[in-house]
Amino acid sequence: MQTDVLIVGVGGQGTLLASRILGGLAVVGGFDCKLNEIHGMAQRGGSVVTHVRLADRVYSPVIEEGGADAILAFEELEALRYARYLKKGGIMIVNRQKIMPTTVITGAVGYPSEAERTLTERYGAIMLDALPLAVASGNAKTVNTVIIGLFARRTGVAYSDIERALELSVKPKLLEVNKKALRAGYDAVL
Amino acid sequence: MGKELMLGNAAIARGAYEAGVKVATAYPGTPSTEITEIISGYPEVYSEWSPNEKVAYETALGASLAGVRAMVCMKHVGLNVAADPLFTSAYTGVNGGLVVVVADDPGMFSSQNEQDTRIYARAAGIPLLEPSDGAEAKEFVRLAFEMSEKYDTPVILRTTTRLAHGQSFVQIGERVEPTPLVYIKNPSKYVMMPANAKKRHIDLENRLIKIGLDCNTMPINTITYNDKNIGIVCSGIVYQYVKEALPNASVLKLGTVYPLAAELVKEFAANVGRLIVVEELEPFIENQLKTHGIPCEGKSLFSRQGELSVNAVRAALDGAALSPPVDNGLPGRPPVLCAGCPHRGVFYVLNKLRTTVCGDIGCYTLGALAPLNAVDSVVCMGAGIGMAHGFQKASPDKSNVVAVIGDSTFIHSGITGLIDSVYNKGRTTAIILDNSTTGMTGHQNHPATGKTIKEEDTVRLDLEALCRACGARVSTVSADDIEAIEAIIKRETAIDETSVIIVKKPCVLLDGKRSSDVYYIDGGACKKCKACLKIGCPAIELSDGAVTVSKETCAACGLCVGLCGFGAIRLKSQNAGR
Ligand SMILES: Cc1ncc(C[n+]2csc(CCOP(=O)(O)OP(=O)(O)O)c2C)c(N)n1
């Protein structure tokens, strides 16, 4: 058993919590696990990447380019930015959302046109409108959990396992909305 | 007690707790901050945010003298500030164990340089340990305390960003309360005037020889023989890269990086073909090997800049292709001042006035980025005021030079620059951005917040009175009032005296509550002149030629309203609870 998952997004989108949920899977399944995120600038809307590695024994905390079994992207441009990390045959799940960086807002450069087409055609990305599902679950900030739900479904993780992993990682106060979000992602019709 | 998935920094905090640490001090700095934040939750331990790393070090040293286990934590550049007590505490040695945790940042994820703390260890003559994951980090803290007391020396525990901010499984244990040692007055050991210090220096050199010998048999220095054609010497997180990249190589893993376990290395060298040191940043282990007459390869194969990786190790030693630096042509996503950040207005004004700005380190460093482009220099914490003073002494005819500095940074090391300018008849204008917190590192209290690390009330440092007492002219203005800010900057830079402008408004993230109001742009009134985009607010978006305000992001600070010449930016009250 070895799974390397790269979670990418924009500061504030909850990549760290998503990685904690996958870390919970290691607890449930009895694997070794390493999570790695660069904090610091994360709060300030920068690009954020979190590495999740599950295996019987994990050495490096960092996934190599071309080594990710899965990429979970909470934003389209960030999906493109880190796409080179995807292993051949790996899966990519992308939240259908565009968040303009300042470099685009100030007109210095343009947001990549056809981002979705590149992602689906070149990387076989599964696109999901996670934001409305998150909002319907009661909190727009649960986009991360919605995506985790879909990831679990697509990779054959039992619902009871991912739900247990969620319970291990989320504050009790936020558990109910997150459970709804997880279910919504797991059951999402594309 | 079970295993927990925890942050490297949490493992260090836990290790110190279990080792019976009594006093823990720090000044925040990424990636070391969480250690002391977590320790502050343990009621058995006295903890504090000190005003800077030097004071933090001295406080921990004093506690050690008094007989308890003490720890001080900082980021790598913090050790520059604490270097003075560091060097001489190597002479005095300790009473209770003293552990100095220093977090290096290869790759500069959130730092202004990539200096290598191991060189400080050698320069000061202080042993340095380097763990390679969270479980080891916890264990090494305990060992560091034991070594500190056994050898009568401070001990440095070095981490790097990947360890500090990585999570892995760590076994939790119980706290063991050590019996405090008694303090016995001993001027020949603790009063470092020349006659005493000469003897202590000799003591230090002898101590290092002894520790170096003992390192050869310490269980945290281990040899694993495999294929003996290649022998790798490494430590810390690099060990993980090596194990993954070269599973068949023989490896000498050093837990004590300084002093060198020279006999152990010689034994290893004699048994392997190619001897290669794999290390991030400086050729520190490599040079030690060479000093001991052990031929090896090292930086001829690896860069001194940045992090290593599994790929870098494979590329150097296994013929794999090195992943090229990427330029995928995608728009960058640099960090930005938050929507509603109180720093934004000042930079808008400074940009408009074309002022030369000697900046400083904090969130407000981001005032250097487009579209604000307001900052001319950033060097180290506290540098801005001294640099503005020097700039002005060198160009007496230029009046529009200011320093911009945060409240925490001003207290850390800006105040001496201000005193310099007043004392030496300078005409510097220092703008203190007082957002009532240490924002950059995640909102720590400091002396001017009136709260301790444990959120207890304490005496609040009055910045205005402090600057007045230094002899500077002082004005205070709200961060919301950009017209007043502009007028005051013009007035104060025109006057031939040292002045301070305190710009006040709490950080927008401080209370965690979002405003229920947002602004919106009336598409009919908007003339698409884009004046509102000049403040670089992440809530104001331009797409397909239309300018809109994102209601998810807008913090309703209202800064943009005054920039619109057409009254198109309007307030909408949102009653629906967000
Ligand atoms: C010597 C040193 N110690 C610590 C740091 C880490 N650090 C960078 S900025 C900063 C403080 C910023 O606080 P403040 O000046 O109040 O500005 P704010 O971020 O709140 O705008 C710290 C602790 C550093 N860069 N250098």
Measured between CA atoms, how close is A156 to chain B, in angstroms?
24
The DSSP output letter for B110 is S
Compare CB distances from A59 to B240, B369, B536 and report the shortest one's residue: B240
Domain boundary among B271, B300, B318: B318
Q: What is the C-alpha to C-alpha distance for residues B382 and A49, in angstroms, rounded to an integer?
A: 31
Of B501, B485, B348, nearest in space to B428 by CA = B501
Q: Which amino acid would we find at residue B30?
A: T
Lowest mean pLDDT among B113-122, B482-491, B568-577: B568-577
Do the Cβ atoms of B139 and B194 come closer than 8 Å?
A: no
User: What was the pLDDT predicted at B232?
Assistant: 98
Do the Cβ atoms of B24 and B189 come closer than 8 Å?
A: no
Question: Given an 8 Å threshold on Cβ–Cβ distance, is B338 in contact with A45?
Answer: yes
Please check the confidence at residue A38 and state whether its pLDDT lies above 90.
Answer: no
Residue B480 lies in a domain: yes
User: What was the pLDDT predicted at B553?
Assistant: 86
Of B74, B169, B369, nearest in space to A102 by CA = B369
Question: Given an 8 Å threshold on Cβ–Cβ distance, is A44 in contact with B166?
Answer: no
Structure tokens at A72: 């979970």
Same structural domain, B390 and B536: no
Interface list for A 117-176 with B (CB within 8 A): 140
Please check the confidence at residue B575 and state whether its pLDDT lies above 80.
Answer: no
The residue contributing the CA closest to ligand 1 atom 5 is: B29
Question: Given an 8 Å threshold on Cβ–Cβ distance, is A43 in contact with B168?
Answer: no
Do the Cβ atoms of A60 and B310 come closer than 8 Å?
A: yes
The total number of structural domains in chain B stands at 4
Distance from the first to the final alpha carbon of chain B: 40
Task: Count other Cβ atoms within 10 Å, centred on residue B328.
Answer: 10
Measured between CA atoms, how close is B225 to chain A, in angstroms?
18
Do the Cβ atoms of B203 and B48 come closer than 8 Å?
A: no
Say which residue, A37 or B325, is predicted with more confidence.
A37
Question: Given an 8 Å threshold on Cβ–Cβ distance, is B5 in contact with A39?
Answer: no
φ and ψ at residue B188, rounded to 5 degrees: -65, -20
Three-state DSSP at B16 gives helix
CB-based contact (8 Å) between A58 and chain B? yes
Closest residue in A to B168 (Cα) is: A34
pLDDT confidence band for A40 (50 / 70 / 90): low
The residue contributing the CA closest to ligand 1 atom 20 is: B439
CA of B363 to the centre of ligand 1 (A): 8
Please check the confidence at residue A39 and state whether its pLDDT lies above 70.
Answer: no
- Three-state secondary structure string covering B404-453: EEEHHHHHHHHHHHHHHHHHCCCCCEEEEEECCCECCCCCECCHHHCECC
CB-based contact (8 Å) between B368 and chain A? no
pLDDT confidence band for B323 (50 / 70 / 90): confident
Same structural domain, B436 and B457: yes
Question: Given an 8 Å threshold on Cβ–Cβ distance, is B330 in contact with A81?
Answer: yes
Structure tokens at B164: 């500090």
User: What was the pLDDT predicted at A42?
Assistant: 55
User: What was the pLDDT predicted at B577?
Assistant: 40
Please check the confidence at residue A41 and state whether its pLDDT lies above 80.
Answer: no
Mean pLDDT comparison of A45-49, B451-455, B572-576, highest-scoring range:
B451-455
- What's the CATH code of the domain at A63? 3.40.920.10
Summary mean pLDDT of chain B: 95
Residue B443 lies in a domain: yes
CB-based contact (8 Å) between B332 and chain A? yes
Please check the confidence at residue B544 and state whether its pLDDT lies above 80.
Answer: no
Instruction: Return the residue matching tokens 């493109």.
Output: A80
Residue B131 lies in a domain: yes
The residue contributing the CA closest to ligand 1 atom 12 is: B362
Range B60-81 average pLDDT: 98
User: What was the pLDDT predicted at B576?
Assistant: 45
Distance from the first to the final alpha carbon of chain A: 28
Range B508-518 average pLDDT: 82
Measured between CA atoms, how close is A41 to chain B, in angstroms?
6
CA atoms within 13 A on the CB side of B483: 3
Same structural domain, B146 and B248: no
Lowest mean pLDDT among B182-191, B217-226, B297-306, B507-516: B507-516
User: What was the pLDDT predicted at A43?
Assistant: 61
CA of B438 to the centre of ligand 1 (A): 7
Compare CB distances from A59 to B169, B244, B311 and report the shortest one's residue: B244
Same structural domain, B227 and B149: no
Three-state DSSP at B174 gives coil
Please check the confidence at residue A103 and state whether its pLDDT lies above 90.
Answer: no
Same structural domain, B355 and B248: no
Q: What is the C-alpha to C-alpha distance for residues B366 and B537, in angstroms, rounded to an integer?
A: 12
Find the domain containing A181 and state its range: 3-186
- Are β-strands B517-521 and B429-434 bridged in parallel, bridged antiparallel, or unpaired? unpaired
The reported pTM is: 0.97
ipTM summary value: 0.95
Q: Which of B160, B330, B363 to mutate to probe the A interface, most A CBs <10 Å?
A: B330
Given the CA of residue B111, which atom of ligand 1 is nearest to it?
Answer: 25
User: What was the pLDDT predicted at A107?
Assistant: 76
Domain boundary among B195, B215, B235: B215
Do the Cβ atoms of B145 and B94 come closer than 8 Å?
A: no
User: Any residues with Cβ below 6 Å from ligand 1, and which?
Assistant: B 27-29, 53, 75, 77-78, 81, 361-364, 381, 406-409, 433, 435, 437-441
The residue contributing the CA closest to ligand 1 atom 10 is: B362
Same structural domain, B479 and B569: no
The residue contributing the CA closest to ligand 1 atom 7 is: B29
CA atoms within 13 A on the CB side of A79: 32
Q: What is the C-alpha to C-alpha distance for residues B20 and B371, in angstroms, rounded to an integer?
A: 50
- What's the CATH code of the domain at B93? 3.40.50.970
Same structural domain, B272 and B251: yes
Please check the confidence at residue A10 and state whether its pLDDT lies above 70.
Answer: yes
- What's the CATH code of the domain at B527? 3.30.70.20
Compare CB distances from B333 to A62, A101, A110 and report the shortest one's residue: A101
Same structural domain, B46 and B180: yes
Angle between helix A159-169 and A172-186 (nearest 10):
150
Helix-, strand-, coil-residue percentages of chain B, each rounded to 5: 35, 20, 45
| Residues of chain B contacting A27 with CB distance shorter than 8 Å | 5
Same structural domain, B31 and B158: yes
CB-based contact (8 Å) between A44 and chain B? yes
Find the domain containing B555 and state its range: 517-573
Q: Tens of pLDDT along A90-99?
A: 999 999 999 9
Range A47-51 average pLDDT: 93
Residue B329 lies in a domain: no
The DSSP output letter for A113 is T
The total number of structural domains in chain A stands at 1
| Structural element, H or E, at residue A140 | none
Question: Given an 8 Å threshold on Cβ–Cβ distance, is A39 in contact with B332?
Answer: no
Which residue among B111, B408, B436, B502 is best mutated to probe the pocket of ligand 1, counting the most ligand atoms within 8 A of its Cβ?
A: B408
Q: What is the C-alpha to C-alpha distance for residues B18 and B400, in angstroms, rounded to an integer?
A: 55
